[in-house]
Structure 1
Amino acid sequence: MIWLTIGLVLLGVFALRFHLDRRRISNGIYLLSGLTITGVGIIGSGDEVDAGLLLTRVLVVGSPLVILILAGLLLANSVQMARREGARLANLLSIGPGVVMLVPFLLLGVAIATGSIWSVVLAMLFVVIGYFGFVFAGFVLYSLLYGRLPYQPGMDAIVVHGSGLVGARVSPLLAARLDRAIQIYNEEAAQGRRPVIIASGGKGSDEAVSEASAMADYLIARGVPTESVGVEEQSTTTRENLLFIQRLLGERGRNLRMVLVTSNFHILRTAILARRLRLDAEVTGAHTALYYLPSAVLREFIAILVAYRWTNVVACVVVAALPLALALVTGGTPRLG
């Protein structure tokens, strides 16, 4: 009963934090923790099941398994990307992370076969892997939930983030974002509002024009009035997008509510950045081809880990110390085999 109570409390904390501000990565951790512990509490409510032991097994097996599955997806993704878009270096970058993620599991196999590595060392390694697996699962779960949230009408500005051009033309990925922005604009216009659509993106070294300029042409060619289209042509990153947009809209003399339009894999990190910059902004996502998602989601996750690097360093030190502390308490570091 105690585990069920803890799980329900965590879900209650999630609900409160979600109500106060849904643009928090920690919301996903509370949600996943609450769902996991509540599920274990329900399954372990019978006398024949030890809920605490069941929870331990779920975490010890399930969290590293997330990383193993992700490694497989990344390796398969590199093959799929090469088939669809050619064997260019950019399309094969998911091979490296996939192989790196498999290394600990290969070491485990060697250790089991030879008994050459202390079990406590492997335990320290795998609790760290389990930590990242659990956080990644929470990130994906909350990204899916956040992406399903309905659009809130009544925005003053629709900001479209750039994602690269093909020569002077928008790429399919960027076209999906612009089409989503046009859809939102038409919905707002049908209710008598005229929000400005701001195309945001600078000019890359391999691009003929700025992303914002090509995006503006795309919008106007599809019926958006010229006076309803604005451009921001200086930014090269999502953070710069938001900083320059903040400055641009601030020149209008009032705080404007805005919706940020990006790809569905990018929505949660964009929302977190907007929150950290104290922007009154929500985020909506455009559809992305499934084969593109594994490596894209991993990049987003790594970017969030870097943004909260010291939190993650401390967490890794703490969880890695648990097997060592257990070994010291029990008086030994047994070998495998």
Structure 2
Amino acid sequence: MLLTYIAAFFILLFVVLYIIDKRRISNGIFLTLGIFFTILAVAYGLIATRNSILALIVIGVFFLIVLLVPFLIVGLGVGLVLNGRLMVKREGRRIPNLLTLFVGLAILGLIILFIFQITILNNIFLSIFFTGLLFIIGHFAFHLISFLLSSYLYQYNRPRLKQDFVIVLGSGLIGDKVPPLLASRLDRAIRFYYKQAAKNFAPQIIVSGGQGPNEWVSEASAMKDYLVEKGIPEEHILMEDLSVNTLQNMMFSKTIMADLKPKSRSIFVTNNFHLFRASLYARKAGLKSQGISSKTALYYLPNALLREFIAIIVMYKWWHIIIVSGIGLAVIGSIALTLYM
């Protein structure tokens, strides 16, 4: 019963906080804990029925999962390496595009080192190191699952067709041209614009983005030209051309909206992989805006989601530094104790 109460507590906590504000990283954490304890409660409940068939099924599933885990980890490493090669082929050999390749190689490298340790070296210090590393990986794996759950749930956000402003977040230009990734955001904003205009009134579109070092014009200027070419009236387009990151996109757009209409309703548009982190920045900037997303090519998603996850880890870096430092100190203490003994 205790497991059931714990599972219900975390699920209820998730539901309450999600209703209050979908833009919380803690939502995914509580949902992950709720799902974990629900699985434990169900498994324990099936075993506790004293039905030998159900107990055998639960134990069989458990051992099947344990046996599959190594293959899943190897498959993950190989899949990330292949995705990294595809990213390089289609997007160019830039460092951000190599992320899945590096992570995949790191996973495969650790697997080889672990096998070498348990079959040949059998070194006590390496065993302690791998134990600590396993705890660190488990910590980040838990937060990765929480992030993916939060991101997935947030995709189903459906703002009302009564928005005064639609903020389109910039994502970089090629010279003075809008690349496909940014075009998908603008196209999503256009669809929302016409959908709302047909039922209520036409919102104003704020194109948000400054000029980067390799860009000929500001992102806002290129985005405005794109919208005008697609038939959006120029008087319905507002430019925010000073921001250099997502937080500034939100802050500077908020200033524009406050000057024009203090009590306004707004949404923001970005790609699906970036939607949840953008919502965290909107909350940080004091905007009540929720987001809608445009689709991204499937091959691009693993790399993009990893980058988003790393960015969120950096947002809450001190929490993770404390956890990792604690594990590191425990490993050092264990090694020192082993040497002393």
Give the shorter-chain TM-score range: 0.7 to 0.9
2:269 and 2:291 in contact (8 A); partners too: yes
Q: Which residue of 1 aligns with 2:267?
A: 259
Q: Which residue of 2 aligns with 1:197?
A: 205
Q: Which residue of 1 aligns with 2:155?
A: 147
> How far apart are residue 273 of structure 1 and its match?
0.9
5 Å-filtered alignment, 1:34-53, equals 34-45=34-45, 46-47=47-48
1:63 and 1:133 in contact (8 A); partners too: no
Deviates more, 1:32-41 or 1:112-121: 112-121
Aligned-residue identity in percent: 37
Q: Which residue of 2 aligns with 1:276?
A: 284
Equivalent of 1:100 in 88, 100, 106:
106
Matches of 1:63 and 1:33 in 2, distance apart?
20
Aligned letter for 1:38?
T
Cα pair distance change 1:313/1:57, threshold 3 Å? farther
Q: Which residue of 2 aligns with 1:18?
A: 18
Gaps (5+ residues) in structure 1? none
> How far apart are residue 100 of structure 1 and its match?
3.2
1:120 and 1:333 in contact (8 A); partners too: no
Cα pair distance change 1:86/1:315, threshold 3 Å? closer
> How far apart are residue 130 of structure 1 and its match?
0.7
Cα pair distance change 1:274/1:60, threshold 3 Å? farther
Matches of 1:58 and 1:241 in 2, distance apart?
48
Matches of 2:219 and 2:326 in 1, distance apart?
44
Deviates more, 1:116-125 or 1:263-272: 116-125
> How far apart are residue 76 of structure 1 and its match?
1.6
- Alignment partner of 1:315 is 2:323: yes
Deviates more, 1:153-162 or 1:58-67: 58-67
Cα pair distance change 1:193/1:308, threshold 3 Å? same
- Alignment partner of 1:134 is 2:142: yes
> How far apart are residue 268 of structure 1 and its match?
0.7
Deviates more, 1:262-271 or 1:64-73: 64-73
Matches of 1:323 and 1:57 in 2, distance apart?
29
Matches of 1:60 and 1:202 in 2, distance apart?
50
Cα pair distance change 1:78/1:192, threshold 3 Å? same
Deviates more, 1:105-114 or 1:271-280: 105-114
Name the count of aligned residue pairs. Answer: 327
Output one character per residue of 1:141-167: Cα deviation in whole Å (capped at 9) or x when no partner: 110111122233321110001111222
1:67 and 1:129 in contact (8 A); partners too: no
Output one character per residue of 1:24-55: Cα deviation in whole Å (capped at 9) or x when no partner: 011001111101210121122123669xx99x
Aligned letter for 2:257?
L
Q: Which residue of 2 aligns with 1:291?
A: 299
Gaps (5+ residues) in structure 2? none
Output one character per residue of 1:275-325: Cα deviation in whole Å (capped at 9) or x when no partner: 112111101111000111111111110111011011112233456677899
1:64 and 1:133 in contact (8 A); partners too: no
Q: TM-score, normalised by structure 1?
A: 0.86
Aligned letter for 2:35?
L
| Bigger helix share | 2
- Alignment partner of 1:250 is 2:247: no
5 Å-filtered alignment, 1:108-257, equals 108-113=114-119, 114-118=121-125, 119-257=127-265
> How far apart are residue 207 of structure 1 and its match?
1.6
Matches of 2:265 and 2:67 in 1, distance apart?
44
Matches of 1:58 and 1:303 in 2, distance apart?
35
Matches of 2:268 and 2:71 in 1, distance apart?
34
Cα pair distance change 1:178/1:125, threshold 3 Å? same
2:157 and 2:291 in contact (8 A); partners too: no
Cα pair distance change 1:147/1:228, threshold 3 Å? same
Matches of 2:142 and 2:332 in 1, distance apart?
21
- Structure number with higher relative contact order (C-alpha < 8 Å, ≥ 6 residues apart): 1
SS in 1 for 2:260: coil
Matches of 1:297 and 1:189 in 2, distance apart?
33
Deviates more, 1:73-82 or 1:152-161: 73-82
